[in-house]
Amino acid sequence: MIEFRSVSYAFDDVNVLEDVSLTIDDGEFVLFAGANGSGKTTLLRHCNGLLTPDSGEVLVDETPVSENLVAARSNVGMVFQHPRDQFVAATVGADVAFGPENLGLSRQEIDRRVDAALEAVNMAGREDERIDALSGGEQSRVAIAGALAMEPTHLVLDEPFTGLDDPAKRSVLERLESLSADGTGVLLATHDLRDVLALADRVVAMRDGHIVVDEPPARAREALSGLEVRVPEA
Ligand X SMILES: Nc1ncnc2c1ncn2[C@@H]1O[C@H](COP(=O)(O)OP(=O)(O)OP(=O)(O)O)[C@@H](O)[C@H]1O
Footprint on this chain of other proteins (rule: CB under 8 A): 45, 48, 50, 68-71, 73-74, 77-78, 80-82, 84-91, 94-95, 98-107, 110, 131-132, 143, 146-147, 150
The residue type found at 119 is: E
State the nearest-atom distance from the C-beta of 59 to other proteins, in Å: 16
Minimum CB distance to ligand X smaller for 36 or for 108: 36
Q: How far apart are CA 48 and CA 26, in angstroms?
A: 15
Task: Answer yes or no: are the C-beta atoms of 224 and 203 closer than 8 Å.
Answer: yes
Partners of 76 in beta bridges: 154
Considering CB distances under 5 to 8 angstroms, the limit depending on partner class, which of ligand X, Mg ion, other proteins, none binds residue 190? none
Minimum CB distance to other proteins smaller for 65 or for 220: 65
Q: Considering the rule CB under 6 A, would residue 39 count as an interface residue with ligand X?
A: yes
Among 41, 68, 122, 171, binds Mg ion (CB under 5 A): 41
Q: Considering the rule CB under 5 A, would residue 122 count as an interface residue with Mg ion?
A: no
CB burial class (10 A; 0-12, 13-18, 19+) of residue 233? exposed
CA distances from 85 to 81, 149, 217 (A): 9, 18, 32
User: Nearest CA to 56 among 14, 25, 22?
Assistant: 22
State the nearest-atom distance from the C-beta of 93 to ligand X, in Å: 31
State the nearest-atom distance from the C-beta of 42 to Mg ion, in Å: 8
Q: Considering the rule CB under 6 A, would residue 40 count as an interface residue with ligand X?
A: yes
Name the phi and psi angles at 207, rounded to 5.
Answer: -145, 130
Q: How far apart are CA 32 and CA 75, in angstroms?
A: 19
Q: How far apart are CA 80 and CA 47, in angstroms?
A: 13
State the nearest-atom distance from the C-beta of 8 to other proteins, in Å: 20
**Where do contacts with Mg ion occur on this chain (CB under 5 A)?**
41
**Where do contacts with ligand X occur on this chain (CB under 6 A)?**
11-12, 16, 34, 36-42
